[in-house]
Each structure stands twice: as structure tokens, then as C-alpha cells.
Amino acid sequence: AAMMAEELKKEQDTSAHLEHMKKNMEQTIKDLQHRLDEAEQIALKGGKKQLQKLEARVRELEGELEAEQKRNAESVKGMRKSERRIKELTYQ
């Protein structure tokens, strides 16, 4: 009976130790999950900022493209006008 009581005590101690370790592990998991959530939020905010910067750059480049297209259209218009004038002068 004393041996069984001793064996039971060992098992109870082992069980208590394992339960304690389990609680520590669960807390560690919660802490790591919290840190992961925070890191994801920071990454999302950083990603949004980067996206906003890129979108602003795209708008800027679109504006430059539009201005360049207008200058090009004016140049073509001027060139055609000059060509017509040359033809007129040539036929006179």
C-alpha cells in the first residue's frame, strides 16, 4: 500500500508539473499570437502607406504624361501648319 501511495504521489507530481508546463505553453502561445497580430497590423499600415505613395506617384506620372501628350499634339499641329504653308509657298 505504501508503494502504491508513493507511485500515486509520483504520478500526481508529474501530472501537476505537466499541467504547469501546459499553462506556461498556453500563455506563451497567447503572447506570441498577440505579437504576431501586432506585427501584422504594423505591416498592413506600412503596406498602406507604401501603396498611398505609389498611387501618388502614379497620379504624378499620369499628369506628366498628359502634359507631354498635349505638347506633342501642339507640335504635330504646328508641324502640319508649317507643311501646309510650305505647300502654299511652293505652288505660288
Please state, for a pLDDT cut of 90, what percent of the chain lies above it.
79
The predicted-structure confidence for 17-35, as pLDDT tens digits, reads as follows: 999 999 999 999 999 999 9
State the pLDDT at residue 92.
Answer: 74
What span, in angstroms and rounded, lies between the C-alpha atoms of 9 and 4?
A: 8
Q: What is the pTM of this model?
A: 0.53
With bands split at pLDDT 50, 70 and 90, how would you rate the model's confidence at 68?
very high
What span, in angstroms and rounded, lies between the C-alpha atoms of 44 and 46?
A: 5
- Say if residue 77's pLDDT is above 90: yes
